[in-house]
Amino acid sequence: MQSAPPARFSVGLTGGIGCGKTTVADMFAELGAALVDTDLIAHALTAPGGAAMADIVTQFGPGYADPSGALERRAMRELVFADAGARQRLEAILHPRIRDEALAQAAASRAPYVIFVVPLLIESGTWRARVTRVLAIDCPEEMQVARVMARNNLSEEQVRAIMATQISRADRLAAADDVVRNDSGREQLRPQIALLHEKYLAFSDRLSRLPSERL
């Protein structure tokens, strides 16, 4: 059963690979929002000595840990792309831990509102029930491909394979309450984020006074 939306105002920030989620999230943080980044939590869980590594090695074998004890990311990435069952087993190990740590970080924050950065927020099927609003970062697909090829030294085929595992751009936009366009540089972003920040502050204030109100 999905949980009810939280009494505290929160935003789920999502977007396809290469859309600029980190850039946008950092701009919100500069204005005073609390950030909870599920990718950073996942990396901590799979670092040397990370809380998920013992279960990952038990489930997948020692070949999926590197000499330092961290996740062997390339091997795991190749496995889960080829084997949906392996992806599900990995998610069963990681997702509950990510969720619990994300909610703990949010509870510890004293910021006026929290932004959960969740790349697969819409795809997950459960995060939507944990946030008050969904914010999608959007740019043209060709721009996504070019950015990721340059940033990660991947081929176009590899980038498009990653994109194929994510929800479509149209479906992501349809599921969003708010959208930030990121196709013209940082200066285009700032006024969009400033307007949304003021909107979110107002929503947060309303929700703190009327906990049962839906926004």
What is the pLDDT tens value at each position of the chain, 215 positions in all? 344 445 689 999 999 999 999 999 999 999 999 999 999 999 999 999 999 999 999 999 999 999 999 999 999 989 998 899 999 999 999 999 999 999 999 999 999 999 999 998 998 878 888 999 999 999 999 999 999 999 988 899 989 988 988 999 999 999 999 999 999 888 899 999 999 999 999 999 988 776 554 55
Q: What is the pLDDT of residue 4?
A: 46
Q: What is the pLDDT of residue 209?
A: 77
Q: What is the pLDDT of residue 215?
A: 53
Q: What is the pLDDT of residue 2?
A: 45
Q: What is the pLDDT of residue 8?
A: 82
Residue 61 φ/ψ region, left for φ over 0, alpha for ψ in the -120 to 50 degree band, beta for the rest: left
Q: In what order do the strands lie in the sheet with 114-117?
A: 34-37, 114-117, 10-15, 133-138, 178-181
pTM value is 0.87
Write the burial class of residue 89 (CB in 10 Å: 0-12 exposed, 13-18 middle, 19+ buried): middle
Q: What is the pLDDT of residue 1?
A: 38
Domain chopping of the chain, boundaries: 1-33+112-208, 40-110
Q: What is the pLDDT of residue 125?
A: 76
Q: What is the longest distance spanned by two Cα atoms in the chain? A: 53
End-to-end CA distance of the chain: 22
Q: Which fold has domain 1-33+112-208?
A: Rossmann fold (3.40.50)
